[in-house]
Amino acid sequence: MAISYEDIVKVPKALLHDHLDGGLRPATIVELAAEAGHELPTTDPEALGRWFAEAANSGSLERYLETFAHTVAVMQTGPALRRVARECALDLAADGVVYAEVRFAPEQHLEQNLTLDEVVDAVVTGFREGSALASEAGTPIRVGTLLTAMRHAARSQEIAELAVRHRDTGVVGFDIAGAEAGFPPTRHLDAFEYLQRENFHFTIHAGEAFGLPSIWQAIQWCGADRLGHGVRIVDDITPGNPPMLGRLAAYVRDKRIPLELCPSSNVQTGAAASIADHPIGLLRDLRFRVTVNTDNRLMSGTSMSREMALLVDAFGYGWKELQWFTINAMKSAFIPFDERLKIIDEVIKPAYAKLIG
């Protein structure tokens, strides 16, 4: 029996790699831009949504980055951040996501003189409000916040300390993001060593554009718990029957280091020519700890259900494979073990059991 998109929406999903500033509702951008006096390419929400998708698909890095200039510009006040976070939780819950980790860079939201702590408080409050509303609507979701430091800047230690400071109010992890080339993970080694001393979880954007050296540094120098994207690990796998894993690829698989793969986004950025050509098929067959993610829902015009539907179409996956991806993500979440297990045993497995039979 064919799996429909509508069926996928109904099943529980877990999401580990989603950017808050990459998932705003177009209508919200229009309203917040009017309040902030920020000029947009268009003030028609539908046309604006198309503009974001076209800019992200243009092949121009300048146009792609311009999309974030608009979203970040309208996220500079406490009420705006709170609203965006609240709507993010609601949108994910409506898509059947039961657990999500959403990341953002507090240092990018200081133009209206908010402090870093005020920025985090606003976002965490928004997630809490959205989760409560989703629960009332019968679509419960838990949202954990990841704080991101920009790898081209010099605030990673400050953001790491900020994350630890808010660890008991909703912040579950840390990340670095931005251009990989020229900005290696080891540039922020002090921050990662601090987080390790604090027993705090972190992921690192690595292996999206720069390749194996970035992955190697993220794991072996910095101690990353997960790899943000990590798709270029395939560069260390020699095709064949069977494929041969290099030492780094073997280490990543043996250690069960989660890969936060984002199929549509990876196609947009050139990491794969198409969904059908995406390394997720090979990595799944080789039993890497593969997870499926959205990255930037607005720019990619996507959702967790759409990403899974694309994989069903491209690789012929069934409910067993979708459950496998979902449990992988939940196992890899940055919340306590017993809480992860509760969601797996009480929410995910029962729902898929009805479909798998």
Residue 113: what pLDDT? 96
For 59-96, the DSSP string reads S-HHHHHHHHHHHHHT--SHHHHHHHHHHHHHHHHHTT
How many other C-beta atoms lie within 10 A of the C-beta of residue 265? 26
Structure tokens at 23: 């998932």
Residue 169 backbone zone (phi > 0: left; psi -120 to 50: alpha; other: beta): alpha
Catalytic residue among 87, 208, 260, 321: 208
Q: Please confirm, yes or no, whether 208 is among the known catalytic residues.
A: yes
Does the model's pTM come out above 0.75? yes
For residue 340, the number of C-alpha atoms closer than 13 Å in the C-beta half-sphere is: 18
Of 120, 182, 184, whose CA–CA distance to 148 is shortest? 120
Helix residue ranges, H only, the chain:
5-10, 26-36, 45-56, 61-73, 78-94, 116-136, 156-165, 189-197, 212-216, 247-254, 263-268, 280-285, 297-300, 304-315, 319-331, 337-343, 349-356
Domains, the chain, ordered by start: 5-24+75-356 (3.20.20.140)
Any idea what the Cα angle at residue 297 is, between residues 295 and 302, rounded to 5°? 110
Q: For helices 61-73 and 45-56, what crossing angle results, to 10°?
A: 140
In angstroms, the CA 9 to CA 259 distance is: 23
Q: pLDDT in tens for each of the 357 residues of the chain?
A: 689 999 999 999 999 999 999 999 999 999 999 999 999 999 999 999 999 999 888 766 667 778 999 999 999 999 999 999 999 999 999 999 999 999 999 999 999 999 999 999 999 999 999 999 999 999 999 999 999 999 888 899 999 999 999 999 999 999 999 876 677 888 999 999 999 999 999 999 997 767 899 999 999 999 999 999 999 999 999 999 999 999 999 999 999 999 999 999 989 888 888 999 999 999 999 999 999 999 999 999 999 999 999 999 999 999 999 999 999 999 999 999 999 999 999 999 999 999 997
**C-alpha pair distances (Å), 337 with each of 190, 289, 292:** 27, 17, 20
Give the Å distances, CA to CA, from 76 to 37, 69, 81, 114, 265. 12, 12, 7, 8, 26
pLDDT at 61: 61
